[in-house]
Each structure stands twice: as C-alpha cells, then as structure tokens.
Amino acid sequence: MPCEQGYVFMDGPVELTVRQQRIESGAGPGFIVEPTGGAHELKNLTKRSVPMLRVRVAMDVDAEAQQRLANQFWPGLGVKTDETPGLPLPRGTFDAQELTWRKAIHGGRGRIATRHVLAPRNFYSNWTFLDHAVLSTGGSVGYHYHDFLEESFVVLKGQGLMTIDDDTFEVGPESVTWQGIGQKHGIYNLGPEKLEFVRIAVKQAYKEFTTIDLHDDLSVRRPKCSILH
C-alpha cells in the first residue's frame, strides 16, 4: 500500500537522498517528510549518533495517483533530474524561539508553548499534525483522549511523567510514547527544567476526530516505580 513517510531526528543535520536529490533537515532536532514513500537513503551529517523515529502513514491512492504525486516532487526522473525543481519537501528543525506561550491545555496546569510545525494541509495522507511543544516547570497537558486520532510523543529535553490509561511512568530525552484511539493520556513536567517534546498525530480515515478533557491536571499522579535518577 502507498505510504507517506517521515522522520523525526533528535539531532542533525541529517541528509535524505531520494531519486538522486539530497535534502537536509538542518542543525539540531528536526524532521523530513517524504510524501511519495519511495526508496531513499539517510546520512548522518553530524559526528554524533542521532536517534530517530520513522513514521509511515498509508495513503488511500491507486498506483497512477501515486506516480502523479511522485512526478510532482521528482520531475524528470531518469531524464533531466536537475532541469525542473520539484515541490519543496516538508523539512526543518524544531526551534523553541518560534513557539507561542499560552495557558496549559486540556485542563492542565502552568503554561505551554506550542506550534503546529506541519498541519493537515501539509500532508497527503491522514497524518494530521506534527507539533512542537514546551511545558513550563510544574506544567502539564491535562488528562484527555481523542476519538478517531492516535498520537506519539517524542521527548527532546527535560524529565516528565506520562500517564496512559491510568498507568504513570517516567519519560526523558529520546523517550517515545504511543497513545491509541480512545486511550486516556497526558504529560506532567517534573522539572526542574522545561519539558520539550514533539507530538505526532494521525487520524482515522474518513473520520473527524474529537478531543474530550477529563479534568485532571496529573499533578498528584506518580509511577509505581522509578527508573530516572
């Protein structure tokens, strides 16, 4: 099945080569989305190991539509690859300076800075959001769930407590969580520093997602055991 694929990197720059063209993510944590789901190669341009998360989202298109999409991004394949530039791939870095601070969301506490890095108009599949967020010390994204939407959180910096379906556990840099459709979840910043993370959201095909808040700021929840020191 045709897929839209993307990567979230914990560091960078990272280079993606597809159809004889090279695209860089930029310095620091970043992302690249490759809408056509074709064969490609990744190269770490840093001198450090770079943890990453690969995302693949099915596209409801036939082979002909998939080829038209590929031609949009990679014109002249096998003939004149440098004659006509393709459409720009969604790629970039997660820059905390671009975030906007506001009151905590979903019944949480404290403040949160957020940005829709990529929105539904940027995707060809049901991939819905790629968000960047920072929680203030002692802040939280309150307990809630979504109908017809699943998510992953990727922690970039800080230490926090993630709660999914009443199971509370510790998260830190490079932690990745998954919250399925209808699963209750939220995240609390333990401090002492800000908690920075990326949110990846994918909705169910042919459905409109909703969000239901559960009026719990998660500040009193603690894990049954601790692994962070």
pLDDT at position 192 over 50: yes
Two structure tokens written together for 209: 């997602």
Measured in whole angstroms, the distance separating CA 188 from the mean position of its chain's CA atoms is 18
Q: Does domain 95-213 have CATH number 2.60.120.10?
A: yes
Model's pTM, two decimal places? Answer: 0.89
**Are 26 and 92 contacting, i.e. CB atoms less than 8 angstroms apart?**
yes
Instruction: Give residue-wise pLDDT tens across range 15-49.
Output: 999 878 889 999 999 999 988 877 899 999 999 99
**Residue pair 201/141 in contact by the 8 Å Cβ criterion:** no
**How far is the C-alpha of 38 from the C-alpha of 67, rounded, in Å?**
10
Segment 151-171 mean pLDDT: 98
Question: Quick one: CA dihedral 106, 110, 111, 116, positive or negative?
Answer: negative
Query: Domain spans of the chain?
Result: 3-92, 95-213
HSE at residue 222, side-chain half, CA atoms within 13 A, is 6
Higher pLDDT, 154 or 1: 154
Tens of pLDDT, residues 61-80: 776 776 777 777 766 443 33
From residue 45, how far is each of 16, 27, 42, 91, 100 by CA, in Å? 10, 9, 9, 15, 30
